[in-house]
Every structure is written in structure tokens, then in C-alpha cells.
Amino acid sequence: MLEASVIGLGTMGSTLAQLLLQNGYRVTVWNRTIAKAKSLVQAGAVLAPNAAAAVSASPIIVVCVHDYSATNQILATKEVAAALAGRILIQLTTGSP
């Protein structure tokens, strides 16, 4: 089964997660504000307890949060760094070159 994790469930991340679910993916989600995952969980997504668990859950991880600073806050932990090895990280957050 195709698997992907989505980190950041704002307008864009939650829509991406919904589309992945609709296209048959097993989707794991994590968001700083947990309540935003509710409708996705009802639609079949799995809510990870933290970002490292979301990274560990899938071979492909989509990050879509406010900015690079937020991305760094999420990814720059030892747990997430260890979990990222060998996985594909797709950064959709808007940033500067």
C-alpha cells in the first residue's frame, strides 16, 4: 500500500492529506494543533503523537507549514533527524531560495 505522512494541516496540508486518502494512500498526519486533524482522522488518516512518529510512519513525508522557521522547529530534533534517514522529504512550505 502507498504510504505518506503529512506534517502541517493548514489549508494546504489538510487538502493534500485528503487527496492522498482519496487516492488510496495510508496517510499519517501530525499538526501542532491536534484538533485540526479531527476530520482527517474521521476520513481514515492516522494521527501521529509527534513529528518523529509521523516521519517514522511512512517512506514519504510532506511538510507544509507556515515558513522555514516553523519547518526547522519541527525537523531539528534528534528524534526527527534519526527517523528521516532513508526517507523522502517533500518540503512544500514557501520559503526564499
Ligand X SMILES: NC(=O)c1ccc[n+]([C@@H]2O[C@H](COP(=O)([O-])OP(=O)(O)OC[C@H]3O[C@@H](n4cnc5c(N)ncnc54)[C@H](OP(=O)(O)O)[C@@H]3O)[C@@H](O)[C@H]2O)c1
**Could you say which of 33, 85, 86, 97 contacts ligand X (CB under 6 A)?**
33
User: Taking the chain, what is the end-to-end CA distance rounded to the nearest angstrom?
Assistant: 34
- Residue ranges in 51-90 that form contacts with ligand X under rule CB under 6 A: 64-67, 70, 73-74
Tell me the site size for ligand X, rule CB under 6 A.
Answer: 20
**Could you say which of 32, 47, 53, 87 contacts ligand X (CB under 6 A)?**
32
The residues that touch ligand X, with contacts defined as CB under 6 A, are: 8-13, 31-33, 36, 64-67, 70, 73-74, 92-94
